[in-house]
Amino acid sequence: MHIPILSLGLLGGLTFAAPAPAPAPAPAPVPVPVPTAAALLPRVRGTEWINYTTLTGFFLQDESSTVPGGFDYWQKFEHYVWRLNRGSGRNVQYKVLYLGRHGEGYHNVAESYYGTPLWNCYWSLQDGNGTSVWADAKITSNGVAQALKANAFWANAIKTTKTPLPESYYSSPLTRCLQTSNLTFSGLDLPSGKPFIPTVKEFFREGISGHTCDRRGTKSYIQSSFPTYNIEAGFTETDELWKPLLAEERENQDIRSKQVLDDVFGSDDSTYISVTSHSGEITSLLRVLKHRVFSLSTGQVIPVLVKAETIVAGAPATTTLPWSAISTCASPVPGATSP
């Protein structure tokens, strides 16, 4: 099935640059049938694996040739995705992922203040500087404003643009993502059958380094601070992945990114899914999805239409690499402590 390429932009800042309304009178909305069967891939066995690709030409970040236009874009797009899933075989499914980066955190401010070289070799290895704390960083007042802007976007989407709402929600276990997702989706007029009850998944976390901002809090802390959030099975009380002075290699991060995608696509029958994560982790997810490189600022979101296909054959070989040591430097000049 072909539909016109009517682009919706990046949900930026969440400036979700929706197409401008057409001056002509509104035609009747496109009806969107409700699927009657669960859209789940069969569980992958030892001789099978899931291959991911992205369908481009729908969103501004996909390619430069997309042309904005069409106030009823989302209704057409939703119908198109429904048709894709209805016509796909047992081993193929399509989902739309809303990949969102957390709002500005105190670690972002500190890196900007000290500069990336000094941040990487010294300040990122500290819990803070006596004025600010960035271990498992919280979001700043600007980060709060970014998340509330996203909330206003979704509130308008419900009333006006009819953008398909997330049916499932996932979050990194780091505080800045938990805060951002909570502020973004709480208080919205969501369907009663699709409430905002996010699931915290370990592997949606940022690339793991010796930076203290990448060290998550305990399971007990997350449960007490965000009591309405579900936490995935097997989630350990303490952070057993973070290692002082060591950094995860990009190849290792991509392996775990694929693992968490496999888990979501194999267990969640939702078509529209929100993931609140981090710049580095979203970059990794996009690599796994074979999407072009796309950088997000804090508080921004992009939608990605994903095709997942179970391949009946042995999975391509993957190799994990040893973690690398972080370069460190001497303490900076005393007094240069306050961002």
* Average pLDDT over every residue of 137-159: 96
Residue of 106, 187, 173 whose CA lies nearest to 142: 106
Q: Mean of the pLDDT values across residues 300-324?
A: 91
Backbone dihedral region for residue 116 (phi beyond 0: left; psi -120 to 50: alpha; all else: beta)? alpha
The pLDDT value recorded for residue 139 is 99
> Over 50: is that where the pLDDT of 50 sits?
yes
For residue 6, the model assigns a pLDDT of 31
Domain positions in the chain are: 6-18+39-51+62-316
Question: Does pLDDT of 2 surpass 70?
Answer: no
* Contact criterion met (CB below 8 Å) for 201 and 221: no
Residue 37 scores a pLDDT above 90: no
68-77, 193-202, 306-315, range with the lowest pLDDT: 68-77
User: Which pLDDT belongs to residue 332?
Assistant: 76
Q: Residue 207 pLDDT > 70, yes or no? A: yes
The pLDDT tens digits for 123-143 are 999 999 999 999 999 999 999
Of residues 279 and 34, more confidence is placed in 279
Strands 92-101 and 301-312: antiparallel
What global pTM score does this model have? 0.86
What is the pLDDT of the chain when averaged over all its residues? 85
Catalytic residues: 102, 206
130, 86 Cβ separation under 8 angstroms = no
| pLDDT of the residue at 149 | 95
Q: What is the pLDDT of residues 78-120, one digit of tens each?
A: 999 999 999 998 899 999 999 999 999 999 999 999 999 999 9
Instruction: Looking at the chain, list the stretches that DSSP marks H as alpha helix, in order from N- to C-terminal side.
Output: 73-87, 106-114, 116-121, 141-156, 175-185, 219-225, 250-267, 279-288
DSSP 114-169: H-HHHHHHTGGGSSB-SS-B-TTPPB-HHHHHHHHHHHHHHHHIIIII-PPPPSEE
CA atoms within a 13 Å half-sphere pointing along the CA-CB vector of 194? 18
CB distance 146 to 103 below 8 Å? yes
- Average pLDDT of span 180-209: 97
What percent of the chain is modeled with pLDDT above 70? 81
| C-alpha–C-alpha distance, residues 127 and 107, integer Å | 10
Dig out the tokens for 19 from the structure: 């197409």
Neighbours of 249 (CB within 10 A): 15
Which is more confident, 40 or 332? 332
Closest C-alpha to 264, from 91, 17, 40: 40
pLDDT at residue 24 greater than cutoff 90 = no
Place 232 in a pLDDT band, splitting at 50, 70 and 90. Answer: very high
Which of 60-64, 256-260, 294-298 is least confident? Answer: 60-64
Determine the topology of domain 6-18+39-51+62-316 in CATH: Rossmann fold (3.40.50)
The pLDDT of residue 293 is 85
Asked if residue 15 has pLDDT above 50, the reply is no
* % of the chain residues with pLDDT over 90: 71
Lookup: tokens for 183: 């502020």
The pLDDT of residue 5 is 31
Position with higher pLDDT, 332 vs 321: 321
Predicted local distance difference test score (pLDDT) of residue 336: 56
Q: At 337, is the pLDDT very low, low, confident or very high (cuts 50, 70, 90)? A: low
Residue 200: how many CB atoms within 10 A of its CB? 24
